[in-house]
A and B are shown apart, each in its own frame.
Chain A
Amino acid sequence: MSQYYVGILILICINLLAVLGLSLMTGFTGLFNFGQAGFLAVGAYTATILTTHYAIPFLPALAAGMAVSVLTSFIIGYPTLRLKGDYFAIATLGFAEVVRLLVENLEKLTGGSRGIPRIPTNTSLPLALGASIIALWLVANYVSSRHGRNCVAVREDELAAESIGVDSFRYKQVVFAINAALGGLSGGLLAHYVGFIQPSMFSTIKSTELIVMVIFGGMHSLTGAVFSAIVLTSLPELLRTAQAWRLVAYGALVVLIMVARPEGLMGSWELTPANIKALFKKSGSAEEGE
């Protein structure tokens, strides 16, 4: 396989990690997060500073990036997770901007807006692929557990969820932390794949790109998250020959899907043996398999 395709595959895995966290948090628990890039930045800079300044080995540095990211989610989450939906979304937007500006201004540590060059490119395909498969397995387990159902209950009706004994704040903290861990891992892998990081890589555009992937694939479907991470990461690359028009095509496709199918491509459909069987049984009848 040529280096080019390996690269795209690695990028797919890196995006998938960040999207899985978001899918759990935004799709399943109903907490809109427009600041995922902030967690990527925390993970990326923590891991990178450790590997480049302190010569810490790659894997422990990645783990440290995840840990700092999770810690950040607790600090941000404690005051903001009690906010109502829209206000929380705005808080996450602000959080990502704060992280970006901090990184830009802590020049000694982060290289400011010039970034950090010459990062060891340790992220290999087996590592990225392995990490995303394990992450997918964990998140899929979580979603089908009683804790996953409690999260969906919070999304559906927080007051009713509380009334049957679900501690909604705790569940929000938990999914926010899982999301932060995956986002931090994604950022650490990204830095050690590209070999260079700078604050502009973690702008609102990156956050938007990730949340679009969740919505595009289907808010309530992990299958959708995987599918859209693959399609929406590789599409701009495959369209590279069209140069300037490729982002227009990308945008148009997303708009088209959202108009034609507001619940996202997969809606809440999951790729499980039982669901595939059901799909074949009624093939020919209805097109929309929900």
Chain B
Amino acid sequence: MALLNIEDLTKDFGGVRAVDHFSQELEKGGLYAIIGPNGAGKTTIFNLITGIYKPSEGRIYFEDEEITGRPTHEIAQKGIARTFQNIRLFSDFSVRDNVRTACSRYASYSILEGLIPTPRRAREEKELADRSSRLLELVGLSNRADELSKNLPYGHQRRLEIARALAQEPVLLLLDEPAAGMNPDETVDLMEFIEEIHETFDLTILLIEHHMEVVMGLADDIVVIDFGRTIAQGTPEEVQSNPTVIEAYLGEED
């Protein structure tokens, strides 16, 4: 059974159909990419999976359980983490606290223990601190752990946002245009980083990308969408040579 199963997903905004009967199965451990021109409905699909939007039609199953229309935080707790196209860090938090807050599900002390400290709280807080230090080391941000995240350079902010998602120890990671706004060198670095975490964290990754060449060397399976509809799917080579894709996505070159 597929890890994530999207069936006939449709989303209308007034008269605009942003996603049009989109279906997709993600197998555990895969690295998938959705590509498509601006306004094709890529981010809307992410927002539907993570419960930020309620779908107009269709169903979404995660680990054989229906999650359609569940609240965002519940879906996150089930093991789906994401990043955003326009980085959404907790900007007044330190780098460490951004990650530590996302680790929070590994501490279970209650609100009452939040008011009155107990040994369990101390133990769990230490665990959170250790976890976040280890993770920051892994992503190469430990030397900036105490800086405010808003003061980080852009590329590091992207990396931190991914680290924050990893802190949730998700099963499925959704990356929304992780290379947006990066120069070619940074992009190459980032792609290597994504490949690395894909292996070390045993993740299933679905990423959105606007630039086709970025995902060519990375994804096993590429879905091309336009006007909210799947127009092609396959390996990078298959997609690249597909005439519909060339016409719809790259534009007619003559």
Contact = CB atoms under 8 A, between A and B. Distances in A.
A160 B84 CA distance: 9
Interface stretch (B34-42, B101-109, B234-242): B101-109
A165 B77 CA distance: 5
B115 A146 contact: no
A164 B71 contact: no
B100 A160 contact: no
Contact of B164 (A150, A159, A164, A167): A164
B52 A159 contact: yes
Interface stretch (A48-56, A137-145, A208-216): A137-145
A148 B165 CA distance: 20
Given A162-B71, A163-B82, A164-B102, A145 B77 contact: no
A203 B246 CA distance: 67
Contact of A149 (B71, B89, B97, B168): B97
B117 A152 contact: no
Given A163-B76, A164-B101, A165-B77, A146 B128 contact: yes
B121 A145 contact: yes
Nearest to A157: B88
Contacts of A147: 111, 114
A168 interface: yes
**Residue of A147, A161, A163 with most partner-chain B CB within 10 A:** A163
Contact of A268 (B82, B92, B102): B92
B104 A149 contact: yes
Interface residues of B, number: 39
B73 interface: yes
A146 B82 contact: no
A1 B133 CA distance: 52
A237 interface: no
A146 B128 CA distance: 9
Interface majority SS (helix, strand, loop, mixed), chain B = helix
Given A148-B114, A268-B92, A166 B73 contact: yes
A162 B104 CA distance: 12
B97 A160 contact: no
Interface in A190-206: none
A159 B73 contact: no
A107 to B, nearest CB: 39
B73 A145 contact: no
Interface string B193-231: 000000000000000000000000000000000000000
Interface majority SS (helix, strand, loop, mixed), chain A = helix
B47 to A, nearest CB: 10
Contacts, number: 98
Interface string A119-159: 00000000000000000001101100111111011001101
Q: How large is the interface on A (under 10, 10 to 19, 20 to 34, 35 or more residues)?
A: 20 to 34
A63 interface: no
B114 A165 contact: no
B76 to A, nearest CB: 4
B104 A165 contact: yes
B50 interface: yes
Nearest to A174: B111
A156 B93 contact: yes
A150 B93 contact: no
**Residue of B72, B77, B84, B114 with most partner-chain A CB within 10 A:** B114
Given A164-B164, A165-B76, A146 B89 contact: no
Interface string A246-290: 000000000000000000000010000000000000000000000
Contacts of B89: 157, 160
B186 interface: no
A159 B105 CA distance: 17
Given A156-B90, A157-B88, A174-B111, A146 B104 contact: yes
A156 B71 CA distance: 19
Given A156-B93, A157-B90, A164-B164, A149 B113 contact: no
B22 to A, nearest CB: 21
Contacts of A172: none
A159 B167 CA distance: 17
A100 interface: no
B92 A164 contact: no
Interface of B: 50, 52, 71-74, 76-77, 81-82, 84, 88-93, 97, 100-102, 104-105, 107, 109, 111, 113-117, 121, 124-125, 128, 164-165, 167-168
The 5 A-B residue pairs with the shortest CB-CB distance, nearest first, are: A145-B114, A165-B76, A156-B90, A162-B72, A147-B114
Given A138-B116, A147-B114, A164-B81, 5 more contacts: A156-B91, A163-B81, A164-B76, A220-B92, A268-B92
